[in-house]
């Protein structure tokens, strides 16, 4: 049966959660609508793909609530939350299920689901721990999910375990790994890579790339520290400062590059839409998050590009990388270990090629987009037909 889905996300920018939702929305196109609480590039990408999108602009009082915010900010956000829930509930009546793609979206969807008597699925893409959230926000997420959400889809075991450890009901949650389309990677030819290399003026240089939003926990600074003892190495820093604090980190990174004397070898490219080509161009894709990554799309993407990957040994990254076989893991925040891992890959071509090959195979089998959407379709069907947990 064809179910109608109302997807909800509070973010207007393009982060990993939003890029993943793009693929899910594509699959359900014609039977879904996407509600966003913020205008921005995510809306544009959805529209380009032919999705039905509605932006319900939320007030800053709600959007700016963060881990650092006081309990008073939470209280001030409540009227906006109730208003959005009421508006969402009116729309939800025309759909079979509400599908929340972020924690803020889940809170509003839970309220709206109650008002409209519709089940709510929460695609959980965060590690619910005190590394990332305040105690108050963890409590709210746990209570609301346990009582008002019909199903939680966790994007990794790490995400699932954190949900359960913070008191989430184990019977509510199932892991569905992010699936990533290999086609944009397979479509890049050697000629494309060469012309990108010429455009960037980076011929005949050893090159690493780190991809993702500029944010302290993503650990771009760890790569810069590692580079100070790798004199010939250049690095692409690919990604933009998406949120408020990210701009401060962006400035700090540039100062750090100057202080460490690596400025001329570090290339800040900002947010790019040609990640597959850039990942094929570099010799190594580095993931350097200093705290647990919920999943880590960039790691799988590096594998799809056929490029050796080094990742931080925490969270979802440990479910993707089998260190020494399909990539390398290093302790989070340890620039000396990162430096050694980079040297190892650059000095051992055969080992690097073997790891890249294994990575490419694993990424295509284990993190396959079709598997992801098939599992999600089954979950939607199970929730809608109320046949109980899968
Ligand atoms: N990305 C992008 N352009 C950039 C930097 C990153 O399209 O300039 C994409 C990247 O390819 C990946 C996503 O952003 O698909 C980041 O996802 P990840 O799971 O690594 O991190 P998250 O944003 O979810 O924390």
Q: What is the mean pLDDT of residues 292-316?
A: 98
pLDDT at 186 over 90: yes
Which ligand 1 atom is at minimum distance from the Cα of 239? 8
Q: What pLDDT, on a 0 to 100 scale, did the predictor assign at position 80?
A: 87
Q: What percent of the chain has pLDDT over 70?
A: 98
Instruction: Kindly tell me the burial class for residue 229, based on how many C-beta atoms sit within 10 Å of its own C-beta (0-12, 13-18, 19 or more).
Output: middle
Q: Which pTM was predicted?
A: 0.95
Q: What is the mean pLDDT of residues 137-159?
A: 96
Q: Are 200 and 267 in contact (CB under 8 A)?
A: yes
Q: How far apart are the first and last CA of the chain?
A: 17
275 lines ligand 1 (CB under 6 A): yes
298 lines ligand 1 (CB under 6 A): yes
**For all residues of the chain together, what is the average pLDDT?**
94
Q: Are 352 and 66 in contact (CB under 8 A)?
A: no
Ligand 1 pocket test, pick from 217, 297, 319 with the greatest ligand atom count within 8 Å of Cβ, gives 297
Instruction: Kindly tell me the burial class for residue 203, based on how many C-beta atoms sit within 10 Å of its own C-beta (0-12, 13-18, 19 or more).
Output: exposed
Q: What pLDDT, on a 0 to 100 scale, did the predictor assign at position 388?
A: 45
Sorting pLDDT into bands at 50, 70 and 90, what band is 389?
A: very low
Q: What pLDDT, on a 0 to 100 scale, did the predictor assign at position 387?
A: 52
Which range, of 179-183, 200-204, 371-375, averages the lowest pLDDT? Answer: 200-204
Pick 136 or 167 by higher pLDDT. Answer: 167
pLDDT digits (tens, 9 = 90+) for 336-345: 999 999 999 9
CA–centroid distance, 271 to ligand 1, in Å, is: 9
19 lines ligand 1 (CB under 6 A): yes
15 lines ligand 1 (CB under 6 A): yes
Q: What is the mean pLDDT of residues 81-98?
A: 95
CA–centroid distance, 18 to ligand 1, in Å, is: 9
Q: What pLDDT, on a 0 to 100 scale, did the predictor assign at position 73?
A: 78
Q: What pLDDT, on a 0 to 100 scale, did the predictor assign at position 71?
A: 73
Ligand 1 pocket test, pick from 16, 159, 291 with the greatest ligand atom count within 8 Å of Cβ, gives 16
What is the residue with the minimal CA distance to atom 14 of ligand 1?
16
Sorting pLDDT into bands at 50, 70 and 90, what band is 58?
A: confident
Residue pointed to by tokens 């025309």 = 94
Q: What is the mean pLDDT of residues 37-42?
A: 96
367 lines ligand 1 (CB under 6 A): no
Q: Are 226 and 343 in contact (CB under 8 A)?
A: no
Which ligand 1 atom is at minimum distance from the Cα of 19? 15
Give dist(CA 31, CA 281) in Å, integer.
38
Other CB atoms within a 10 A radius of the CB of residue 72 amount to: 8
Q: What pLDDT, on a 0 to 100 scale, did the predictor assign at position 5?
A: 98
Q: What pLDDT, on a 0 to 100 scale, did the predictor assign at position 174?
A: 98
Give dist(CA 297, CA 310) in Å, integer.
13
What residues does 98 pair with on adjacent strands? 6, 120
CA–centroid distance for 145 within its chain: 21
Q: What percent of the chain has pLDDT over 90?
A: 87
Q: What is the mean pLDDT of residues 217-241?
A: 96
42 lines ligand 1 (CB under 6 A): no
pLDDT at 244 over 80: no
211 lines ligand 1 (CB under 6 A): yes
pLDDT at 68 over 90: no
CA–centroid distance, 313 to ligand 1, in Å, is: 18
Q: What pLDDT, on a 0 to 100 scale, did the predictor assign at position 390?
A: 45
pLDDT at 306 over 60: yes
pLDDT digits (tens, 9 = 90+) for 102-146: 999 999 999 999 999 999 999 999 999 988 888 888 999 999 999
Give dist(CA 129, CA 124) in Å, integer.
13
Q: Are 136 and 108 in contact (CB under 8 A)?
A: no
CA–centroid distance, 297 to ligand 1, in Å, is: 7
CA–centroid distance for 3 within its chain: 26
Rg, C-alpha atoms of the chain: 21
Q: What is the mean pLDDT of residues 264-293?
A: 97
Instruction: Kindly list the distances between the CA atom of residue 214 and the CA atoms of 9, 157, 220, 238, 249, in Å, as whole numbers in the listed order.
Output: 21, 25, 7, 8, 7
301 lines ligand 1 (CB under 6 A): yes
What is the residue with the minimal CA distance to atom 10 of ligand 1?
298
Sorting pLDDT into bands at 50, 70 and 90, what band is 226?
A: very high
Give dist(CA 220, CA 210) in Å, integer.
7
Q: What pLDDT, on a 0 to 100 scale, did the predictor assign at position 8?
A: 98
CA–centroid distance, 19 to ligand 1, in Å, is: 8
């Amino acid at each position: 049966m064809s179910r109608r889905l109302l997807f909800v996300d509070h973010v207007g920018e393009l982060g990993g959660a939003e890029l993943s939702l793009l693929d899910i929305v594509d699959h359900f196109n014609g039977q879904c609508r996407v509600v966003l609480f913020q205008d921005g590039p995510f809306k544009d990408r959805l529209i380009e793909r032919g999705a039905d999108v509605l932006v319900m602009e939320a007030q800053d009082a709600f959007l700016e609530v963060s881990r650092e915010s006081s309990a008073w900010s939470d209280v001030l956000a409540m009227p906006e939350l109730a208003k959005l829930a009421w508006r969402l509930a009116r729309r939800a009546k025309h759909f079979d299920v509400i599908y929340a793609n972020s924690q803020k979206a889940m809170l509003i969807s839970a309220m709206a689901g109650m008002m409209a008597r519709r089940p709510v699925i929460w695609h959980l893409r965060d590690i619910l721990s005190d590394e990332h959230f305040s105690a108050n926000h963890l409590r709210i997420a746990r209570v609301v999910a346990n009582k008002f959400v019909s199903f939680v889809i966790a994007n990794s075991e790490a995400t699932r375990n954190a949900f359960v450890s913070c008191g989430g009901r184990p019977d509510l949650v199932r892991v569905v790994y992010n699936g990533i389309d290999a086609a944009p990677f397979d479509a890049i030819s050697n000629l494309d890579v060469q012309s990108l290399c010429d455009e960037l003026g980076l011929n005949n240089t050893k090159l690493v790339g780190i991809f993702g939003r500029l944010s302290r926990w993503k650990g771009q600074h760890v790569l810069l520290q590692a580079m100070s003892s790798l004199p010939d190495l250049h690095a692409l820093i690919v990604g933009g400062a998406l949120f408020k604090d990210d701009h401060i980190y962006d400035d700090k990174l540039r100062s750090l590059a100057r202080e460490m004397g690596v400025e001329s070898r570090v290339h800040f490219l900002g947010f790019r839409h040609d990640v597959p080509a850039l990942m094929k161009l570099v010799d190594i894709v580095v993931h350097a998050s200093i705290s647990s990554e919920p999943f880590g799309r960039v790691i799988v993407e590096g594998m799809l590009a056929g490029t050796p990957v080094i990742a931080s040994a925490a969270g979802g990254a440990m479910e993707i990388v089998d260190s020494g076989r399909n990539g390398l893991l290093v302790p989070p925040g340890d620039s000396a270990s990162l430096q050694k891992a980079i040297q190892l890959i650059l000095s051992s071509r055969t080992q690097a090629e073997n790891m890249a090959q294994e990575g490419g195979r694993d990424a295509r089998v284990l993190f396959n987009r079709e598997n992801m959407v098939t599992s999600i379709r089954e979950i939607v069907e199970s929730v809608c037909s109320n046949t109980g947990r899968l």
